[in-house]
Every structure is written in C-alpha cells, then in structure tokens.
Amino acid sequence: MTIALRLLTRREYSRKELQDKLLHAGFDGLQIQKVLDSLKASSYQDDQRYVEMLTRTRLRQGHGPLRLRQDLQRAGVDVQEHDGMAVQSVNWQAQAQAAYQKRFGNTAPEDARDYARRARFLAGRGFLPEQIRHVLADPGKNPDDFND
C-alpha cells in the first residue's frame, strides 16, 4: 500500500498503470487487487480523475482527440466509460487551429507538397481529417473564433 501511495503522490495513475507498476515491483495479483480496491474506496486512485489530468496535459501539449483516446487506451482506461465528458467538452477545431498556428504561424501552404507536410503534422498530433481540412482551408483563422 505504501508503494502505491508513494506513486500516487507524484502524479495520477490509471488503475492498470498502477497495477503494472506493482506487478513489476514483485507483488502478487491478489494483493494488488486488494490494494487497488482500497485506494479506489479511499479516493486516492480514480480513473475519471486520471482522464481529466491526461486531457489537460494533452491539450497543453497541442494534441488532438485521436492521440488522447490512444493514450487512454494505452493506460487501460475504458474509453467509452470515462472520456465522454472530457473529450466532448473540448473544442477540437480550435485546438487544431492553435497547434497549426504555433508551428506554422498564419501562413498558408505554398504548394501541394507543403500542404501534405502540414497535414501530416496535424495528423501526427492526433487530429481528425475533417479538422485538418478546415485548418488548412483557413490557416489564419483565430482559434478563439470557433464556437463550442
């Protein structure tokens, strides 16, 4: 229990991440499940809180919804159950516009090759094709102009 609490004092962990850490530390599965249940009952570990923390982090880093979902799945969080409000409350089009402008400014692509390079950048950040098309159609649009 103390190892798990020490880990949780540093940052939020999903239940699966904490389970993997404890397994790696040499604890057996039954012990781990009891500890994790106890931590959840005491509200020390909460997957919803982890989703909110990860969403804030990925937004600050300029990532899109696909990247966020991928990271949540990798952390073992049930995406259908936990990311609904966090993902839906974000204006992803404004996020894509801001990420583009941070990297490329308000400039439009010069040619097809440059367009493809910029589209790959946004796709690599985890934005949807529709969001990418909108950004590249009007790269100078102010991200604050998007309505929720």
Specify whether domain 2-45 bears CATH 1.20.120. Answer: no
Max CA-CA distance within the chain?
Answer: 60
Question: DSSP secondary-structure letter at 27?
Answer: -
Dihedrals phi, psi of 19, to nearest 5 degrees: -60, -45
Fold classification of 91-148 (topology level): Arc Repressor Mutant, subunit A (1.10.10)
List, in sequence order, every beta strand (DSSP E) within 1-148.
none
Could you read off the pLDDT tens digit of each residue along the chain, which spans 148 residues?
889 999 999 999 999 999 999 999 999 999 999 999 999 999 999 999 999 999 999 999 999 999 999 999 999 998 777 655 666 778 999 999 999 999 999 999 999 999 999 999 999 999 999 999 999 999 888 887 776 4
- Where along the chain do its domains lie? 2-45, 46-90, 91-148
CATH code, 46-90: 1.10.10
Same CATH fold, 46-90 and 2-45? yes
> What pLDDT sits at residue 140?
85
SS3 64: coil
> What is the C-alpha separation between 4 and 21, in angstroms, rounded?
8
Residues in the chain: 148
Concatenated DSSP letters of 6-74: HHHHHS---HHHHHHHHHHTT--HHHHHHHHHHHHHTTS--HHHHHHHHHHHHHHTT--HHHHHHHHHH
